[in-house]
Chain A
């Protein structure tokens, strides 16, 4: 049973370009969470999605960032017009449902580097 799959593992973009990060949750999981880990900082919550719905985007910057989890296919975290400060490790996690206290299963992350 494959775990949470994220791709690409490493992504290099120049300032002003777009970055697209993909996340396929574990089989049978319909809830996806995105976290960002900046150097020397802890993991920060960005957004929580269910299939075709954004449940909580309180941690997502208001501009340039968007996320989706379509009925078919992976969840996508999209960053438009990237800046150097977007350089970080982006982790996706999934859970089978949205019940409280559910443990999250994390992917190996995408390391975004902005030149």
Chain B
């Protein structure tokens, strides 16, 4: 069964304190791995798509990496506005196009 597990469930950082969020996945053929950010009361907002092991993508203070079993979202020198829930999702080959399997997310709190 296709599955996504994110850790930790919650993470509290001081402003400027870099860290990483983990997303482990089991999927019968990976079509793509997606990172989304979700603010309270809002829908998920797209951050990155990674397609193959070894791929990396960056956006401001965020950098996403992918291996054959997991993905990391590295946050460098975070700011309070980076506080949100970060969601990881995979799209498997063979299923309905664009159907995503989500993890339960990591709730990040960055304190000034």
Contacts and interface: CB of A to CB of B under 8 A. Distances in A.
A105 B36 CA distance: 10
A100 B31 contact: yes
A101 B51 contact: yes
A41 B95 CA distance: 22
How extensive is the interface on chain A, given as a class? 20 to 34
Contacts of A56: 95-96, 99
A41 B101 CA distance: 12
A48 B99 contact: yes
B37 to A, nearest CB: 11
A42 B98 contact: no
Contacts, number: 73
A55 B42 CA distance: 26
30 contacts: A31-B98, A33-B98, A33-B99, A35-B102, A41-B104, A42-B87, A43-B89, A44-B102, A45-B100, A45-B101, A48-B96, A48-B97, A48-B99, A58-B96, A59-B99, A91-B43, A91-B44, A93-B43, A95-B98, A98-B97, A100-B31, A101-B91, A102-B97, A103-B46, A105-B46, A106-B44, A106-B45, A107-B43, A108-B41, A109-B42
A41 B100 CA distance: 15
B34 interface: yes
B62 interface: no
A43 B102 CA distance: 6
A4 to B, nearest CB: 7
B46 to A, nearest CB: 5
A52 B103 CA distance: 30
Interface in A22-62: 31, 33, 35, 40-45, 48, 55-56, 58-59
B25 to A, nearest CB: 12
Contacts of B32: 100-101
Given A42-B4, A45-B101, A101-B91, A108 B46 contact: no
Contacts of A103: 34, 46, 49
Contacts of A11: none
B104 A40 contact: yes
Query: Which of the listed residues B4, B31, B43, B95 has the most CB atoms from chain A within 10 Å of its own CB?
Result: B43
